[in-house]
Structure 1
Amino acid sequence: MSILLCLACVLAAVTAYYITYVYLRGRNSFLRKLQGPESPSFLLGNESQLRYQNEVGEHEFKWMRQYGSAWRRTGPLGVNHLSVADPKALQYILHSSGYHFPKGKEVTQIIELILGQGVIWAHGTTHQRQRKIMTPAFFAPQLRTFLPLFQDMASKLVQKWTDEVISPDPTGQPLINVTPWLSRTTLDIIGEAGFDFHFGSLDNAKTPLAKQYENLFVDSTLYPSRLDVVFKALWHYIPQPILHFVRYLPSREYRRFRSYSDYMRGFARGLIKESIVKGDGKDMMSVLLRANLSSDLNGKMSEDEIIAQISTLLFAGHDTTSNTMTWFLWELSKHPESQDRIRAEIEAVRAQKGEECLSPVDLDSMVYTQAALKESMRLHPIAWILRRTAGRDDVIPLAFPITTRSGEQVSSIPIGKGTPIDILVGAYNRLPEIWGQDADEWNPDRFLNIDKTKQATVGLFAGLLNFSGGLRGCIGWRFAILEIQVIATMLLENFAFSLPPQSEKTRIYRKPGAMMIPMVESEQGSWMGLIVKALK
């Protein structure tokens, strides 16, 4: 009760501060000159339209088509936000001036609550130090050693579906919710590749960790209470020692994250002890520990930082990858002609390789398969929005001029220190000026005939922002792509995928949690039901 009373007092003080300073200062911001959607309320602003939309893109895609590649929108309590989908602006924010656009306090506090003070949380010199130590675990030679693991786990998934789901089904074409199966596969992979630890998730082992992950982001980030959205908007003005206590709040989100982070600390300490005993492990954590030992005293990571990296690797190498594959299979289920072209490529490679395991060169040689994966990722970025804050007064350049409310065309946007910035990954991935007038449509051939003169150096893979970009780009993106290539190729070689009869009960929605979550109205939690038929 005393904690809640303290938070209430802080909330009142911050609100008074906000009214007398922040709002008045924001009223004179250049952002007010930009076009943007009308705010439906002072309390939540347009944040309500993003947080509570039925599916990702319902509002921000419409705003992009109406206002161009950058626009103003209103956050909680009337604060102006800059929404960005412009490639030159994104290149500036993420690459040229990456450390001048940190994550805001709301974002970093939630990251710390879930994952600890690891590489996703860190900023500036702390981020540079942590990333330097982690980098050897993601060198290309290290990643290639995981290829047999990817292939073994993909083969295991094929066998599980064949023996346990398809064979017992009288039709031979069962409806399979592919989301949990792919999640279990990627959990087993990151367990062994990351920590030399066998989760046994595909063998139906009911581990405490698997229980912690079950619907974690549905329970904790999808459609939060409106009071909590406003509360988080005020975190920027709450002193850090007091803000630490939000982890003890009794609501659904904080309980789930607190339970997960408490479990992970104990689990990670056990992994570290086992790795130290082994001494010469080839897994990512062992490589990281050796790199940390060889660092000078000022460059080393603390035990708490290493624990945070373990939690981060499990998080980033698990559901993000499985959800990417989930959407890929969904798109292919809607486009059987694309499945046929992919299988033709696989058969051509198999004709040369036989039963021998496919190499990274073999996988990359299947150009249409790679184009289809890129197209699916373009349409379905798992991290659909990234939040940043201007760390100083700045001017953001634009590749495509926008028109202000007065009719003036501008090619840059002056912003003040502290301005909240929304990097709309989903909107950028559908920007017609970059991807063509059919940017909302499935067309893998665009990556085979792409006009490179229109491409900007924004993302890490195929010009996309799915792995972010620049100084804070995902350190494990090559691991994820190779993993997806192997698993998807083996699944498509063995199975044909199609959609079940379509109705409101089976319509898939792209729900706007912290990750873009596939869901249907008739099922609980993440769900992607596809008809699966064995080909062999």
Structure 2
Amino acid sequence: MLQLLLPPEYGDYEFKWGKVYGPVYRIKACLGQDLLMVSDPTAVQYIVNSPSFVLTNSFQALAYWIYGEKSLTARTGEDHRQLRAVLNPAFAAAAVREYQPVFAGIAQRITERLDLCESPSIDMYPILSDAALSSISEAIFGCPVDDLNADFVQGNCDILELSSAQSASQILFDGIGSLLPGWFLRHALYLPIKTFNVVRAQLNLAYRQGWRLVREKREAAKQGLEMGNDMFSILLNSDSIREEDVVAQTSLMTIAGQDTAAKALSFGLIELAKNPQLQENLRAEIHAALGTDRENIPYDSMPLLNAFIKELLRMYPVLPISYRMALEDVVIPLSQSVGTTTGQRVNQIYVLKGESVSLAIASHNRLMESRWGEDADKFRPSRWLDGTVYQEEAIGPYANLLSFLGGPRTCLG
């Protein structure tokens, strides 16, 4: 398990195992538990859409601790489905494009900030992280980031650091957590432990920040002012969601959104730095498409840019691995047969009730040559333009990628 989650570089062992053992194999996890590693597309599609598989207790508890018990990620069953249905329209492509002026303004501010830098070398991640938080603040909350509570903003950074840290003790905790009942793990948040004290304080700050935003918007509406077209305002104008449910998403929107966007953009800059010709080609395409109209950006007329984004999401999924637990004995179908330890070839895998499976997202995106071509482990945006990519049944919501998962737990944005 340490080799899987704590390699010098992610995938050093996992990708090798996938090439040797195929898209489905078992490893020993913490405390001797069996863990099924799955990157087979048919199996993955079955797991993410099957009601027989749910989030593991430890992951569910983590969502409860970090995002709050009423956040979308922490909810389950019908409660999750109903809230998801209300939030989905606010994250649809058409809705997100309405925030184009916000994103363009923030991009301009990044450019101006970089122009002021005198050093030949610049640490881009903090800049991109700030930009991501600004985008969230303006597009989702409808206010400049400076209007947010300073302690709330700093607390987000602290929580991001805590939640992204991996260590042997953290892996052991997850292993023990998978054996404990969910109710126990949820209540563990109230133990007098320093880490939990930080998490509880941030949840309280997020709750107060969310209610402050709601009160300000309601007060503006009473004075005859328009609430705006930010996501919170749109949701509050809807009759299908309660104010407290909007407020409950404050932590989720800021923590999850800031981290994922900043990491994706950082990897994008790395790939551009490694390929100057790709830089030139992208720059030429963007300049040609924009012309003099900077307000109506024709993204659909920039095929190389779209291919670059898809390839970036394929090679660098923000969540490289995700876990599920079987609620009952299940038979998982496979797209291709795999060999067993007895030498047999099987086209389905049996999973027992309570057993955990790992959705090997990064392995699926990098090793499935039948979907991405023989050079699947290479960063090559042109694969999306030359017909290399498999175009049949889709697993995820975008470009047949697993990077946003799929099924009821598909990533919102």
TM-score, normalized by the shorter chain, greater than 0.5: yes
CA–CA separation in structure 2 for the residues paired with 1:331 and 1:399: 32
Match of 1:397 among 329, 333, 340: 333
Match of 2:344 among 408, 412, 416: 408
Q: Does 1:347 align with 2:287?
A: yes
Q: Is the 8 A contact 1:384 1:424 kept in 2?
A: yes
Counterpart in the other structure of 1:272: 214
Counterpart in the other structure of 2:43: 89
Counterpart in the other structure of 1:65: 19
Q: Which amino acid is 2:271 matched to?
A: E
CA–CA separation in structure 1 for the residues paired with 2:186 and 2:410: 27
Counterpart in the other structure of 1:175: 121
Counterpart in the other structure of 1:222: 165
Task: Report percent identity of matched pairs.
Answer: 31
Q: Does 1:127 align with 2:65?
A: no
- The 1:49/1:254 distance shift into structure 2, 3 A limit, reads farther
Counterpart in the other structure of 2:304: 368
- The 1:429/1:455 distance shift into structure 2, 3 A limit, reads farther
CA–CA separation in structure 1 for the residues paired with 2:179 and 2:106: 47
After superposition, the C-alpha distances for 1:468-503 in whole angstroms (9 at most, x for unaligned) are 112211222xxxxxxxxxxxxxxxxxxxxxxxxxxx
Offset of residue 364 of structure 1: 2.1
Q: Does 1:423 align with 2:373?
A: no
CA–CA separation in structure 1 for the residues paired with 2:385 and 2:40: 23
Offset of residue 256 of structure 1: 4.2
Counterpart in the other structure of 1:469: 406
Offset of residue 418 of structure 1: 1.5
Please give the TM-score of this superposition, normalised by the length of structure 2.
Answer: 0.91
Q: Is the 8 A contact 2:64 2:186 kept in 1?
A: no
- The 1:58/1:453 distance shift into structure 2, 3 A limit, reads closer
Offset of residue 391 of structure 1: 2.0
After superposition, the C-alpha distances for 1:289-319 in whole angstroms (9 at most, x for unaligned) are 232xx23xxxx5572x433312211223222
Counterpart in the other structure of 2:146: 200
After superposition, the C-alpha distances for 1:440-466 in whole angstroms (9 at most, x for unaligned) are 212111111234556541122212122
Counterpart in the other structure of 1:281: 228
Q: Which amino acid is 1:345 matched to?
A: E
Q: Does 1:51 align with 2:5?
A: yes
After superposition, the C-alpha distances for 1:31-86 in whole angstroms (9 at most, x for unaligned) are xxxxxxxxxxxxxxxx2222322221011111100110111111111111111111
Counterpart in the other structure of 1:188: 134
Counterpart in the other structure of 1:458: 395
CA-based RMSD: 2.3
Match of 1:137 among 68, 90, 99: 90
Aligned to 1:214, the other structure's residue is in SS state helix
Aligned to 2:288, the other structure's residue is in SS state helix
CA–CA separation in structure 1 for the residues paired with 2:372 and 2:31: 35
Q: Is the 8 A contact 2:58 2:182 kept in 1?
A: no
Aligned to 2:396, the other structure's residue is in SS state coil
CA–CA separation in structure 1 for the residues paired with 2:192 and 2:321: 27
Structure 1 residue runs of 5 or longer lacking an equivalent are 1-46, 477-536
Give runs of aligned pairs for residues 33-48 of structure 1, distance below 5 A.
47-48=1-2
CA–CA separation in structure 1 for the residues paired with 2:340 and 2:174: 30
CA–CA separation in structure 1 for the residues paired with 2:330 and 2:399: 29
- The 1:392/1:456 distance shift into structure 2, 3 A limit, reads same
- The 1:378/1:347 distance shift into structure 2, 3 A limit, reads same
Counterpart in the other structure of 1:324: 264
Aligned residue-pair number:
406
